[in-house]
Amino acid sequence: MVVLQNSIFKSKNIFYMNMGKNIGFEQDGKGDNFVRPVVIVKGFNKNMFFGIPLSTKIKEGKFYYRFSFYKKDKEVENIALLSQMRLFSTKRLLNKISMMNIDDFKNMKNKFKELID
């Protein structure tokens, strides 16, 4: 995969990104390149954004938001790992794979707000 240079990204976009190898309970990516999908919550500038890593391992509870999106014309069920939201460099972005629908995005943000209250 090729890292996007000067990538254009918006809230609700879902990208594959190079998560890197993390420590402790932080979420790693998969494979040799530690790749994982992430939903962009808020971009701050062309270099940084808040993002939430995604997983296909379905879990329930206050730390997860379950939703589906289309990837190559196929519906894929995912969970947003709300407790893993953090600031990322846009240099980690690889390629856009989909976009979260507006209702799911609003509901996910509301669930995150409840989590931190």
Q: Tell whether 22 is covered by a domain.
A: yes
- Per-residue model confidence (pLDDT) at position 71: 87
**Count of structural domains within the chain:** 1
Q: Tell whether 117 is covered by a domain.
A: no
Range of the domain at 93: 13-110
Residues sharing a CB contact under 8 Å with residue 79, sequence separation 6 or more, in sequence order: 54, 55, 56, 57, 58, 59, 64, 65, 66, 67
Q: Tell whether 2 is covered by a domain.
A: no
Q: Tell whether 3 is covered by a domain.
A: no
Show pLDDT as tens, one digit a residue, over the chain (117 residues): 334 444 578 999 999 998 765 544 445 555 556 789 999 999 988 889 999 999 999 999 999 999 999 988 899 999 999 999 999 999 889 999 999 999 999 999 999 999 988
CATH code (residue 98)? 2.30.30.110
- Per-residue model confidence (pLDDT) at position 32: 58
> In this structure, which amino acid lies at residue 27?
Q
